[in-house]
Amino acid sequence: MTATNSGFQASRRTPAGPATELRGALRRLVPSAWSERDLPVRLAGEIHVAGGLCDIVALLAQSGRSGTLVVASSETIRAVVFETGELVGAATTAAHERIGDMLYRSGEVARDDIEEATMLAALDGRRIGEVLVALGRVEVATLEQLLGRQAEEIFYAALRVEDGVFCFVEERLDIALIAPERPSLQSLLMEGARRMDEMLVFRRRVGSSRHIPQRLNAVTLDGGGAKLDDPLRTLLDLCDGVRCIADIGREVGLLEFEVTQAFYQLGTQGHVEFMGPRANSTADIITTYNEVLVEVHRLCDRVRRGDDVRRALERYVSRSAELSALLEDVLPHDDGSVDVGRILRNLGAGRRDSLVKRALGGYADFAVFHAGSLLPPALAAELPGIVTRLLEPLTLAPTSSRSSASLAAAAG
């Protein structure tokens, strides 16, 4: 990683280097913060390894600087706000890191509530959290707690960026502040480093949050074998061979790191094994195609051809009435993925799965085909194997009552 003190000018998707990328990234993330005069960039540079940003954050923390650190990768733009060595706010373009998705994944609100709040927020300019409170869907205290947690998760994600650029400006910009309890950057740095190291270990056993835990030994709950504490016992009770790790985490209010850590413990103790992801619902099918789209955009962004894919996909959608209807009011995220909730809303009743596989599957197939013509030969050769692996959940039989029956037989 390199850093300079030059104040430079910029836009992420033009090939003018990190200088161009940073200012454009900052404008897209918080457009309301910009006047006609550019803010001076005090520190900037490139990131070439996961965790490479830690030294920069440590420097800012030790010097007691206040301002906004912006981190831009090919997929996502994140901004974290510091105030004299403390984290006081954060913003992100990653859909899964936004407050609505955090509230959903923590089990606080339903997906339909998020959709309603998103539409109302777009109409009157309020933040989604404010709308959810006004609608009575979430308590103020719960929202404040999750906003703090969201800021920490964005911070940890910024540390994990392995290829991107960063800049620091001495302005807070138009980024919401978190509630009074503000963690120190030093403690967050230590926690972030621990999480990166531990997640590498966890992922060797627990492939992803979409993997499905299957109970192996019900006897341990009655005292045979290793004793389980209450939180682990609760998770084990929810393992029915159908729900994935993310679903179970949502039910008990645990986010990805905590629920992965817990299931790693259950796996190493011999209580569960992990089956590969299955597409058990229409939402799962959309999520599977999203993973393909994200990977295609990631590879193309890496070689500065991401905008070519985006333009080609726009033309592809415009030529299909069926796909245009499916994607009505659906604006692809920066990483290429599409909004699951809005597509479900557009689907209505009927043969939803077959329509999604035909229309969205064709969209993903076209993205892969077009990317193959844009990528260098070595990367293009790897793409079919990557896509086959990502689409595996669609080729495996959905988990069903068959799983419950086998569990009952094992317990008996």
Per-residue confidence band for 369, with pLDDT thresholds at 50, 70 and 90: very high
Is the pLDDT assigned to residue 375 strictly greater than 50? yes
Q: From CA 249, how far away is CA 107, in angstroms rounded? A: 8
* In contact, 8 and 19? CB cutoff 8 Å: yes
Q: Looking at residue 399, what is its pLDDT?
A: 56
Q: 306: burial class by Cβ within 10 Å (0-12, 13-18, 19+)?
A: buried
Tokens describing residue 39: 């803010």
Per-residue confidence band for 1, with pLDDT thresholds at 50, 70 and 90: very low
**Directed axis angle between helix 340-347 and helix 352-374, to 10°?**
130
Q: Looking at residue 112, what is its pLDDT?
A: 85
Lowest mean pLDDT among 6-10, 305-309, 336-340, 381-385: 6-10
Q: From CA 14, how far away is CA 101, in angstroms rounded? A: 30
Is the pLDDT assigned to residue 128 strictly greater than 80? yes
Beta-bridged to residue 167, according to DSSP, are 44, 70
What domains are there in the chain, each with its CATH number? 2-93+146-199 (no CATH), 208-278+401-411 (1.10.10), 282-395 (no CATH)
Q: What is the mean pLDDT of the chain?
A: 83
Q: From CA 334, how far away is CA 314, in angstroms rounded? A: 14
Per-residue confidence band for 410, with pLDDT thresholds at 50, 70 and 90: very low
Q: 282: burial class by Cβ within 10 Å (0-12, 13-18, 19+)?
A: middle
Is the pLDDT assigned to residue 407 strictly greater than 80? no
Give pLDDT tens digits for 252-311. Answer: 988 899 999 999 999 999 999 999 888 888 988 999 999 999 999 989 988 889 999 999
Per-residue confidence band for 178, with pLDDT thresholds at 50, 70 and 90: confident
> Has this prediction a pTM greater than 0.75?
no
Per-residue confidence band for 397, with pLDDT thresholds at 50, 70 and 90: low
DSSP character string of 181-229: ---BHHHHHHHHHHHHHHHHHHHHH---TTSEEEE--SGGGGTSSS---
Q: From CA 26, how far away is CA 384, in angstroms rounded? A: 34
